[in-house]
């Protein structure tokens, strides 16, 4: 009997798109954004290019407000600056009635620059410099204290100004849905927050007017907010029973999920992402149910960020090169063996790959989410070949610069444009100048006019803050060291 050579068993990830490329049907194309041809956007503003839809921003904040205002008498949205602090974006939210939520002195300055008065700024964050706290106190901002050291710093300012300072206290709670964000604020579950409220009342001139709880981000389970709302109401009632007054406001933070798709997320966003009505129901019905009937309902603040801005943002990019990516593939190894070849795990197959002119330095969120990628046009060749599993590389000289390990795309060639979506949340604020300049950003208004809201970077933007020590002013090699002289 012929002994069969041993082939080690392997587990091979089944590609979603290899089984039957045609099953995905027509090549989905995005050749327009808000009625403006992508080709025109590239011709006028270059590639890559971030594009924001003003209509989408306004639709989202109006829908969120409507959902909450329908079920709660006193609710205010605060635009979370860190989610996207391009001034034009912030202004749209402010025009729609949102106040500002900031987490640093820098963001505070930005909100003031955008015309927001101190009393309409919610000042969060685990570190606020004494200078920024002094300004916030002087301007009547809603400071949400994060830790005991901050309470002590504010208590000193209250002595200095000889005034009581009104603050909110930030807490974290275990909602049972994800790891607790215990970095921020005091624990509301084990009595720490209650003790801190009593200590503050007894030892400082601070007046705790509100309770703040931001449970986390991209919360796909709206039930987490019911748990958090219950915890903050119970804390408010316990603090009142302990001798403090009833707080005037509750702040349930942000964290509502956008229609992005997490790596490994099984359900599509249309099914997985709760609606604003779901979140509003979870939060407002809990507060209304538990708040004492004889007392006025507390004011409700919300700081939702990504759910309002993610879908409004697109990244237009161009294919600069196509490649065949070598995949180590156990199936190919077995197939070779079946044809009388040598069974070896090093036999490889190939997968289409493209290199784009944008990299992960401007798509930071691809670490957690998979943007959809659409060709910005179609051709008979594309349609004929159907969809292929394709690796999408970024343009950086870094092996980790992979935008999508595997996206279903038609066969693309250098020069073809693609559109990535949704990318409006956190990418602008977290994008870094690294290897390549950061691209321009435009916003399309409801009349389809295209406005430049941030120009593409140039060398001076990057090296402007640099300083050259005198002794390095010349590029000539020192004669002491010998060697070639450059002019
Ligand atoms: C205090 C606070 N509020 C609001 C937000 C906005 O969160 P999201 O973009 O998840 O809605 C954050 C983000 O982490 C936050 O830390």
Report yes or no on 77 lying in a domain. no
pLDDT at res. 487: 46
Kindly state the average pLDDT of the residues 459-469. 96
pLDDT at res. 481: 52
The CATH number of residue 334's host domain is: 2.40.37.10
Q: Could you list the beta-strand ranges (E) of 280-413.
A: 299-302, 313-328, 348-356, 372-375, 388-393, 402-409
Rg value, the chain, Cα: 27
For CA atoms 276, 277, 280, 282, the dihedral sign is: negative
Q: Which residues pair with 352 in a beta bridge?
A: 324, 390
Domain check: are 269 and 299 in the same one?
A: yes
Asked whether the predicted pLDDT for residue 171 surpasses 90, the reply is: yes
Report yes or no on 76 lying in a domain. no
Number of folded domains in the chain?
2
The tokens for 177 are 């849905």
Exposed, middle or buried: residue 57 (CB in 10 Å: 0-12, 13-18, 19+)?
A: buried
The tokens for 348 are 């490889």
Place of tokens 């409700």: 300
The tokens for 36 are 């403006």
Testing ligand 1's pocket by substitution, the residue of 98, 219, 253 carrying the most ligand atoms inside 8 A of its CB is 253
Asked whether the predicted pLDDT for residue 430 surpasses 70, the reply is: yes
Predicted TM-score (pTM) of the model is 0.91
pLDDT digits (tens, 9 = 90+) for 61-70: 999 999 999 9
Residue 279: name the closest of 68, 80, 75 by CA.
68
CA 419/CA 373 separation, integer angstroms: 6
CA of 351 to the centre of ligand 1 (A): 38
Closest atom, ligand 1, to C-alpha of 255: 10
Name the DSSP letter for residue 369.
B
Domain check: are 204 and 341 in the same one?
A: no
Kindly state the average pLDDT of the residues 411-418. 96
Domain check: are 410 and 289 in the same one?
A: no
CA of 216 to the centre of ligand 1 (A): 7
**Going by CA atoms, what residue is nearest to atom 14 of ligand 1?**
217
Neighbours of 160 (CB within 10 A): 10
Closest atom, ligand 1, to C-alpha of 217: 10
Closest atom, ligand 1, to C-alpha of 212: 1
CA of 215 to the centre of ligand 1 (A): 9
Categorize the per-residue pLDDT at 17 as very low, low, confident or very high, splitting at 50, 70 and 90: very low
pLDDT at res. 378: 86
H-helix segments, 358-479: 380-385, 427-430, 459-463
CA 218/CA 213 separation, integer angstroms: 15
Ligand 1 environment, Cβ below 6 A: 80, 83, 101, 124, 214, 217, 253-256, 303-307
Could you list the residue range(s) of the whole structural domain that residue 246 is in?
Answer: 85-304
Domain check: are 375 and 299 in the same one?
A: no
CA of 218 to the centre of ligand 1 (A): 9
Neighbours of 282 (CB within 10 A): 21
pLDDT digits (tens, 9 = 90+) for 87-138: 999 999 999 999 999 999 999 999 999 999 999 999 999 999 999 999 999 9
Report yes or no on 368 lying in a domain. yes
Categorize the per-residue pLDDT at 167 as very low, low, confident or very high, splitting at 50, 70 and 90: very high
In percent, the amount of the chain with pLDDT more than 70 equals 90
């Amino acid at each position: 009997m012929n002994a069969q050579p041993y082939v080690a068993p392997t587990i091979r990830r089944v590609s979603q798109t290899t089984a039957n490329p045609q099953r995905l049907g027509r090549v989905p194309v995005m050749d327009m954004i808000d009625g403006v041809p992508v080709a025109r956007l590239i011709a006028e503003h270059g590639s890559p290019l971030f594009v924001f839809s003003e209509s989408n921003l306004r639709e989202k904040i109006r829908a969120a407000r409507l959902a909450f205002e329908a079920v709660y008498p006193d609710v205010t949205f605060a635009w979370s600056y860190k989610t996207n602090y391009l001034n034009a974006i912030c202004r749209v939210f402010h025009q729609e009635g949102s106040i500002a939520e900031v987490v640093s002195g820098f963001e505070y300055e930005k909100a003031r620059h955008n015309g927001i008065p101190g009393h309409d700024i919610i000042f969060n964050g685990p570190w606020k410099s004494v200078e920024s706290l002094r300004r916030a106190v002087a301007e009547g901002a809603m400071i949400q204290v994060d830790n005991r050291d901050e309470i002590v710093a504010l208590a000193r300012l209250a002595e200095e100004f000889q005034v009581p300072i009104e603050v909110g206290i930030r807490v974290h709670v275990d909602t049972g849905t994800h790891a607790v964000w215990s970095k921020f604020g005091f624990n509301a579950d084990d009595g720490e927050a209650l003790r801190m409220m009593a200590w503050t009342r007894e030892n400082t001139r601070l007046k705790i007017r509100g309770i703040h709880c931001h449970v986390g981000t991209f919360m796909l389970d709206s039930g987490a907010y019911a748990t958090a709302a219950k915890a903050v109401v119970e804390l408010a009632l316990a603090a009142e029973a302990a001798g403090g007054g009833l707080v005037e406001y509750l702040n349930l933070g942000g964290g509502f999920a956008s229609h992005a798709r997490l790596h490994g997320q099984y359900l599509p966003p249309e099914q997985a992402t709760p609606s604003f009505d779901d979140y509003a129901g979870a939060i407002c019905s809990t507060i209304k149910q538990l708040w004492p009937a004889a007392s006025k309902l507390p004011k409700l603040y919300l700081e939702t960020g990504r759910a309002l801005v993610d879908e409004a943002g697109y990244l237009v990019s161009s294919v600069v090169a196509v490649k065949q990516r070598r995949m180590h593939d156990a199936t190919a190894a077995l197939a070779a063996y079946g044809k009388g070849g040598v069974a070896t795990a090093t036999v490889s197959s190939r997968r289409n790959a493209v290199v784009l002119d944008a990299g992960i330095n401007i798509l930071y969120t691809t670490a957690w989410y998979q943007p959809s990628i659409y060709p910005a046009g179609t051709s008979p060749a594309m349609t004929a070949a159907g969809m292929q599993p394709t690796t999408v590389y970024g343009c950086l000289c870094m092996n980790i610069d992979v935008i999508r390990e595997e996206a279903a795309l038609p066969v693309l060639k250098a020069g073809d444009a693609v559109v990535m979506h949704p990318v409006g949340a956190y990418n602008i604020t977290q994008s870094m100048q690294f290897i390549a300049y950061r691209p321009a950003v435009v916003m399309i208004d409801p009349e389809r006019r295209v406005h430049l809201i941030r120009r593409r970077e140039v060398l001076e933007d990057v090296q402007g803050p640099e300083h050259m020590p005198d002794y390095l002013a010349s590029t000539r090699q020192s004669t002491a060291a010998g060697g070639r002289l450059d002019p």
